[in-house]
Chain A
């Protein structure tokens, strides 16, 4: 009994370590950013190709996700600050229904483009495995960095990466 329980306890500890490290907040990534075309709330079509040559951050968010709401105003500030330098932020919303999104953006508007992905095709293409997720793409259309989740202070991390890519 005691030998088995020691073994099980060791497996448990190892498992907890593996499980927790598997969810590091951000990591360098690579590969071309999958192209996509989605519609805005207004019904106009737009996509990644509209921002060719710019540094793009694609932020996946939902109205039911608390941390997503928390980072929105900070993302807005960041967008306004770096837009003149050739940076764009695209908010990809994953809600299944548009009314809740419209209601939220009326109450708390943002200046960056928001595209709707109710069928979750773009989320799947970008392998979104955490909410919110921010994918930073360089001027050549290559994915350079993926940030998973949001905790206050992460916006500094975003800004460092963006500045680095703008300078390239």
Chain B
């Protein structure tokens, strides 16, 4: 638990320090996001369906957790 939370905080602050300036600029411009905005590039088009499959797996496997994804898309607004 301690190692995992340190890892998380490390990743979090690393990304935030990156985004707060420095020399790195977003390398994919908002007008270049047409492919990423395509619905086929969504992590999860149908959450009900994937939630159901996850439930089935958890009832028959000894593992759980860490399924799912966020982000991507057109980046509008």
Contact = CB atoms under 8 A, between A and B. Distances in A.
Given A8-B9, A11-B13, A129 B20 contact: no
A16 B5 CA distance: 18
A67 to B, nearest CB: 5
B61 interface: no
Contacts of A19: 16, 19-20
Contacts of A130: 30, 76-77
Given A11-B13, A123-B29, A131-B30, A151 B77 contact: yes
Contacts of A15: 12-13, 15-17, 19-20
B57 interface: no
Interface residues of A, number: 35
Given A64-B74, A131-B31, A8 B20 contact: no
A42 B51 CA distance: 47
A151 B76 CA distance: 10
A64 B34 CA distance: 6
B54 interface: no
Contacts of B2: 1
B16 A62 contact: no
Contacts of A96: 34
Nearest to B31: A94
A55 to B, nearest CB: 24
A7 to B, nearest CB: 9
B31 A18 contact: no
Interface in A1-28: 1, 4-5, 8-9, 11-12, 14-16, 18-19, 22
